[in-house]
Amino acid sequence: MGTETGRAAADPGWDALARVAAGETDAFAELVASHQERLLRLCERLLADAEEARDAAQEVFLKMFRKAGDVRPQGQVYTWLYRIAVNHCLNKLRRRRLVRFLRWEDPADDADAPPFDPPDTAPGPAAALEARRRWGATRRAIARLPAGQRAVLILARFEGLSYRQIAEVLGITEGAVESRLFRAMRRIEAAQETGSLHVSPREGRR
């Protein structure tokens, strides 16, 4: 606990948050500016849609603003923000699935997910096509995971968080993180083996 307190004191974000609670709007704008990039990225990866991610990130920051006076400094500010963001995005995803279920559609199907139109960053048309195929396969693989496993996989693989950090963000034990990640990887491996993700052997080797 001593370490936690020390880490909390070391994060200047908590001071900024206290200033937000005291009514300093400049402090809020500073906090948003310092966390916007990683939060937008996280929301985009969870929701697989840049526009929806912008709305979600805005909602998360507004929640931060409303709760600034209630929060108890513990750990890092971004961990707390990540927790709000993950909860918010997972609820959005559950909503999507519920709507599909009520329409008698496959809840795991991403057929009516937002159109996938990533930017072309590869050097040539063939490489760009290849990259889009890999991205599409990953997106489909992640879309088929249960919400909890999806969050763990994204935080581990794409956000580079340690088991301990993921456990803090999701409010679960490290063992649960390990187990969810293991099951997520199992599902993805199985899907790749059956070819349901359309990942070619060449894509897999990269």
Partner 1 sequence: MNRGTEMELMRLLHGGLSPDRERELRARLEREPELAAAWTRLQRTWSGLELPPPAPVPPGFAQRVAARAQEQAGGTSWSTAPGWVRAAATAALVTGIALGAGAGLWSGKQAPSGQASEEQTSFATTSESLFDDNLAESYWSALDELGDRP
Is 54 one of the binding residues for partner 1 (CB under 8 A)?
A: yes
Binding range to partner 1, per CB under 8 A, among 5-13, 35-43, 104-112, 143-151? 35-43
- Given a contact cutoff of 8 angstroms between Cβ atoms, the answer to whether 78 and 13 are in contact is yes
- Which of 5-13, 87-95, 103-111, 143-151 is the region at the interface with partner 1 (rule: CB under 8 A)? 87-95
Measured in whole angstroms, how far is the alpha carbon of residue 151 from the centre of its chain?
6
C-alpha distances (whole Å) from 204 to each of 14, 154, 155, 158, 190 are 43, 18, 21, 17, 13
Which residues are CB-neighbours of 192 under 8 A, at least 6 positions away? 141, 199, 204
Q: What is the DSSP string of 47-92?
A: HS-HHHHHHHHHHHHHHHHHHTTTPPP-S-HHHHHHHHHHHHHHHH
Is residue 7 part of the contact set for partner 1 (CB under 8 A)? no
Q: Give backbone dihedrals phi and psi of 205, rounded to 5 degrees, phi first.
A: -75, -20
Q: Which sign, positive or negative, has the C-alpha torsion 114, 120, 122, 127?
A: positive
138 binds partner 1 per the rule CB under 8 A: yes
Q: Which of 7, 67, 113, 143 binds partner 1 (CB under 8 A)?
A: 67
When binding is defined by CB under 8 A, the residue of 88, 97, 144, 150 that contacts partner 1 is 88
Stretch that binds partner 1, among 1-9, 105-113, 134-142, 143-151 (CB under 8 A): 134-142
Q: Which residues bind partner 1 (CB under 8 A)?
A: 25, 28-29, 32-33, 36-37, 40-41, 44-45, 50, 53-54, 57-58, 61-63, 65-67, 70-72, 74, 80, 83-84, 87-88, 91-92, 94-95, 118-119, 121, 131-132, 134-135, 137-139, 141-142, 153, 156-158, 162-163, 178-179, 181-182, 185, 188-189, 192, 199, 203-206
